[in-house]
Copies of this chain bind each other. A is one copy, B any other.
Amino acid sequence: MILTVTLNTAVDLTYAVPALVPHSSHRVTEVTERPGGKGVNVARVLSALGHDTVVTGFAGGATGAQLRRLLGTLPHGPADALVPVAGNTRRTLAVVDRSTGDTTQLNEPGPHIGADEWAAFLRTYGDLLPGAEAVALCGSLPPGIHVGAYAELIRLARSAGVPVLLDTGGEPLRRGIAARPDLVKPNADELAKLTGAREPLRATRDARRRGAHSVVASLGADGLLAVTPDGIWRAAPPSAVRGNPTGAGDSAVAGLLSALAEGLGWHDRLTRAVALSTATVLAPAAGEFDRPAYEDLLTRVSVEQHAPAA
């Protein structure tokens, strides 16, 4: 079983409008509603790949109930081990302007998590860890959770002998790296904020020196850069693609975890991550991946090793 943790789960709403004009009234022409939060997205992709997957984190209020209903309707969906909270699970809203294709994002802050709710989560996490082949800790922290929360969860995973991946930003990333996770997957912005360095290789190496065993930086259309104990690798799609990049980073995390759980090495992990994230950009619906494109890309992603050891 692969476990994904989403402390700030969401119901992801998408509104299509003919054109977004501030300070006017709009008729929404299309409404879609999906279970969301980065770890939930990762779990959806892992389930679609055939992995036994469990999601944990928090769900509360009417939006939390809706999140659980939506999770329950996914075919071969991940198992729901979300912990109830008193507050309301947040919504995120993407307003898609059909005239330009651009998206305007509005994210609710999420519920305040109390000390007893965090304690209940730690019990659930502790119960799930022994059965996990790998665990992914994903996304922002909701209000009320201490900034060292991911560091705490990483130490628990390491004590249980479970490989742990961290995908977050800001201070939770800085604290988390210091707890020595097996893998972190920052994007270029998160890396620059963490290290102060803009040059990807320098920033990725710097991030690794802060405590992560391996760092896989996602560089948008340029693919992935991995600095690992086994070497430095670059992986990229055969050509640039156009589409909706929403969820591409989460699909990369799913690719890395999927190959890790199957005992595959870096070449295969990076191939799978790039193929999945590229196939996600190509899918018309945000956060879905185009399966035929994924299977085709598996044979065409380029992976180059740049140095035998980091």
Check if B107 sits within 8 Å of A26, measured CB to CB: yes
Distance in angstroms from A45 CB to nearest chain B CB is 22
User: How many whole Å from A40's CB to the nearest CB in chain B?
Assistant: 17
Instruction: Give the distance to chain B from A101, nearest Cβ to Cβ, in Å.
Output: 10
Nearest CB of B to A130, in Å:
35
Q: A22 — which chain B residues lie within 8 A by C-beta?
A: 20, 22, 97, 102, 104
Tell me if A65 counts as interface (CB < 8 A to partner B): yes
Q: How far is the CA of A28 from the CA of B108 in the complex (A)?
A: 5
The count of identical subunits is 2
List CB contacts (< 8 Å) of A18-40 with chain B.
20-29, 31
- Asked whether A120 is an interface residue with its Cβ less than 8 Å from the other chain, the reply is no
- A24 to B65 CA separation, bound complex (whole angstroms): 29
A62 to B65, CA, bound (A): 9
B97, A25: Cβ atoms closer than 8 Å: no
9 A-B pairs, CB-CB below 8 angstroms?
A: A15-B93, A15-B108, A24-B104, A28-B106, A28-B107, A28-B108, A31-B108, A62-B62, A62-B69
Q: Which residues of B contact A24 (CB under 8 A)?
A: 104-105
Judge if A191 is at the interface, Cβ distance under 8 Å.
Answer: no
Known: A22-B20, A22-B22, A62-B65. A27 touches B107 (CB 8 A): yes
Q: A23-B97, A25-B107, A28-B109 are in contact. List 13 more A-B contacts (CB 8 A).
A: A15-B93, A15-B108, A21-B104, A22-B22, A23-B100, A24-B104, A24-B105, A26-B105, A28-B108, A31-B108, A62-B62, A62-B66, A93-B93
A302 touches B (CB below 8 Å): no
Q: How far is the CA of A26 from the CA of B66 in the complex (A)?
A: 23
Structural contact, A106 and B17, CB atoms closer than 8 A: yes
Residue of B nearest to A25 (CB): B105
- The residue in A23, A66, A103 that gathers the most chain B C-beta atoms within 10 A of its C-beta is A23
Question: Which residues of B are found within 8 Å of A65, using beta-carbon distances?
Answer: 62
A95 within 8 A of B: yes
Interface set, chain A 282-297, CB cutoff 8 A to B: none
- CB-defined contacts of A17 to chain B, threshold 8 Å: 106
Question: Nearest B residue to A30 by beta-carbon distance?
Answer: B109
One of B29, B103, B106 near A109 (C-beta < 8 A): B29
In the complex the two chains form, what is the Cα distance from A26 to B20 in whole Å?
A: 15
Chain B residues positioned under 8 Å from A103 (CB to CB)? 23
Q: Which residues of B contact A62 (CB under 8 A)?
A: 62, 65-66, 69
The smallest beta-carbon distance between A22 and chain B, in angstroms, is: 5
Q: What residue of chain B has the Cβ atom nearest to residue A70's Cβ? A: B62
Report Cα–Cα, A102/B25, bound state, in Å: 11
Q: Which residues of B contact A106 (CB under 8 A)?
A: 15, 17, 26, 28, 95
Q: Please, how many angstroms separate the alpha-carbon atoms of A134 and B165 in the complex?
A: 63
